[in-house]
Amino acid sequence: MVSTVHPPAVKVVGANGQISLGKQYAGRQVLVEEREPGVWVVRTATVIPDNERWLHEPKAAADLQTALAWSSTHNASDADLDDTLSRLIDGES
């Protein structure tokens, strides 16, 4: 990834304590770190909710990729629906 360094920009903190980073960042989540009084580092971030974190664990991610690959070569069908529901209810795999 190529990073472009821009010269410092002067921003004014509004009466409500906000600054604008520009429309290109609208709606993005950011991490704001105060390194020392008056020194902040602002970084864009992707936040993963706690209840979805398991999806990013290596085994879960690999299982999901396997399932997605399988689903791309198998057409959806209700042909075996009753049999599938019976097996799920009975605890069979």
- Domain limits, the chain: 50-90
Q: What is the pLDDT of residue 58?
A: 94
How many Å apart are CA 21 and CA 10, to the nearest integer? 11
Place of tokens 């209840």: 51
CA 74 to the chain's CA centroid: 28
44 vs 91 pLDDT, higher one = 44
Q: What is the pLDDT of residue 2?
A: 65
Please state, for a pLDDT cut of 90, what percent of the chain lies above it.
66
Q: What is the pLDDT of residue 74?
A: 87
End-to-end CA distance of the chain: 45
Question: 18 by DSSP, 3-state: which?
Answer: coil
CA 80 to the chain's CA centroid: 35
Please state, for a pLDDT cut of 70, what percent of the chain lies above it.
96
Per-residue tokens: 81: 């629906």
